[in-house]
Structure 1
Amino acid sequence: MNDTDGRGGATPAAVALIVARLYRQLAQASADDLNLTYAQLSALARIGQFGPIRLGELAAREQVAAPSLTRTVRPLSEAGLIGKEADPSDGRSWLVSITPEGSALLDRIRRERAELLTRRMAWLTQDQRRTLDAALPVLEQLLTEPPEPEGP
């Protein structure tokens, strides 16, 4: 695979491949005994971050259809990782929030992922660490939408 764009820069395909492989390794570092899907872990993390939250708002944040999200969060509720209660401002809606068990699970996952990265980063030279430090703001920028071009 050609990993540069001909001008000395990384290709989108190379960046996507490396980021995906790193994410997969991080996910596998903590997923062996969880019996939870990626979608369920993502929803749990969002509930922990934004909860209590309506399912419709959670679906929008996860960029999935509400019925799909309902199927995703049901096992989280059954496992005691989230709780739900009627929305006091709209009795037809439900709010979901993370339970202490769900928070403990997320803490464990984050700790295991950080431990893996710590071990991997220990192999890096000082120059490689500086390069990684310099790359972090660029990677962060890739997470945002580019600004709209200004008029003609």
Structure 2
Amino acid sequence: MTDSDGRGGASPAAIALIVARLYRQLAQASADDRNLTYAQLSALARIGQAGPLRAGELAAREQVAAPSLTRTIRPLYEAGLIGKEPDPSDGRSAMLRITTEGRAFLERIRRERAELLARRMARLSADQREALDAALPVLELLLTE
């Protein structure tokens, strides 16, 4: 594969297309019976990972405006996937926390997606699995700014 200036290597457009297609297939493989959006799943996962957070803190971590975050988390709250608790340092504020149901939902989604990847990776040759292992640190670098 060559990039747009002919230097060789993967083009950003090709990588973006592959990542988008893989994400879509992973999303279709999991039984998201609640039809959550990518933003909602991301917010739920962030709350689960980071522990109780103020809405403003979550908005900053998700890199969205506060009004947008409010629209994102409302269905999570209504579905019982997240809850609110008083902020111990400021009684006027609330902290968002993942519920037991929300954690179980996330674990199921992750398990189903991991099972799909495991089935597909089982078809790879030893050399292909080794190449994939070698690519992981590079892909992780793309996650940072």
TM-score normalised by the chain length of structure 2: 0.93
**Secondary structure class of the residue paired with 2:133:** helix
May I ask how many residue pairs the two structures share in their alignment? 143
Uncovered stretches (5+) of structure 2, i.e. residues with no partner: none
Whether 1:73 aligns to 2:60 is: no
**Secondary structure class of the residue paired with 2:144:** coil
Task: Write out aligned runs for 1:2-151 (5 A).
Answer: 3-5=1-3, 6-145=6-145
Structure with larger Rg: 1
Uncovered stretches (5+) of structure 1, i.e. residues with no partner: 146-152
State the alpha-carbon separation in 1 of the partners of residues 64 and 52 from structure 2.
18
State the alpha-carbon separation in 1 of the partners of residues 15 and 2 from structure 2.
10
Task: Give the ranges of 4+ consecutive aligned residues of structure 1 lying more than 6 Å apart after TM superposition.
Answer: none
State the alpha-carbon separation in 2 of the partners of residues 144 and 70 from structure 1.
26
Q: Deviations over 1:95-140 (max 9, x none)?
A: 0100110000000001000000001111111111111111111111
TM-score normalised by the chain length of structure 1: 0.88
Report how far residue 32 of structure 1 moved.
Answer: 4.5
Letter in 1 for 2:144: T
Instruction: Please name the residue that 1:150 is paired with.
Output: none
State the alpha-carbon separation in 2 of the partners of residues 74 and 46 from structure 1.
15
State the alpha-carbon separation in 2 of the partners of residues 22 and 35 from structure 1.
18
Letter in 1 for 2:105: L
